Amino acid sequence: MAVLKRLGGAGPDAVLLHGYGSDSLSWVVNQTALQTAATLHAVDLPGHGSADTAVDDGRVATLAARVAQALDAAGLTRLNLVGHSLGGAVALRLAQVRPDLVASLALIAPAGLGLGVDATFLDTYPDLEDAVQASALMQRLVVQPRLIGRVLVARVLAQLGEPGRRDALRRIAQALRDEAATLEATAEAIGRTPPTALPRLVIWGAQDRINPPDPDRLARFGAETVLAPEAGHLPHVESAALVNEALRAFLQARAAAR
């Protein structure tokens, strides 16, 4: 199951969906700012964080179904979804198959809208064994290597050491590689929905080396787009002030439109 955590705040409900290999703590530098515009909930996707490692086939559709179960159990509906990378792909899938759950989409470097997720990163991450190797790989996520500190690296390695974690991430990584065309088709389908019916925002790091933005797909997607010039695959961390302001304005507009 996915694990849903209520973080609190004021305003319409928003759900934060993290990226591959991460967890709900990845939003720590965004939480305070966004709580002024929304009541926040954060998800640990299956195979990540405090969620269990039963990911079945690891496909985005499977992860999205697990998230939908958690949202249904909490009685939440018409949500503003904020998804990063893998979490962005999950958000897109939910908008496609459970439109009753989704009021808007705010996507950060989402899988399905970029040039493709780096297969080497996906394949290497579950097999990380030591701090030097882990630090070198994780620094590819950012423009500022200092953000990949010892504490973060140690936490990643500790999580990878938990029973079943590596295998769960391998399955998800393989699924992301196998279903790239499906993810792109989902994004194309959502892009045909008028923005008035499904408001959407896309945020991307201009120096993203893991899933670079695809200008043509972004143009067809029809979203408000914000590029963080000094950020890689983690713009919500590297350019937190810029991203927080864009997300807060987007969520405040959703509240005003209710």
Domain of residue 191, CATH code: 3.40.50.1820
Residue 72 domain-assigned? yes
Residue 89 domain-assigned? yes
Domain span at residue 7?
3-117+180-257
Say what the pTM is. 0.97
Residue 145 domain-assigned? no
Dihedral sign for Cα atoms in the order 240, 149, 91, 214: positive
Residue 152 domain-assigned? no
Count the domains in the chain.
1
Residue 202 domain-assigned? yes
User: Which alpha helices (H) appear in 84-202, and where do they start and end?
Assistant: 86-97, 119-124, 131-138, 150-160, 165-178, 180-191
Digits of tens for pLDDT over the chain (258 positions)?
899 999 999 999 999 999 999 999 999 999 999 999 999 999 999 999 999 999 999 999 999 999 999 999 999 999 999 999 999 999 999 999 999 999 999 999 999 999 999 999 999 999 999 999 999 999 999 999 999 999 999 999 999 999 999 999 999 999 999 999 999 999 999 999 999 999 999 999 999 999 999 999 999 999 999 999 999 999 999 999 999 999 999 999 987 776
Residue 15 domain-assigned? yes
Between the alpha carbon of residue 204 and those of residues 12, 110, 231, the distances in Å are 24, 9, 8
Strands 39-44 and 79-84, by their bridges, are unpaired
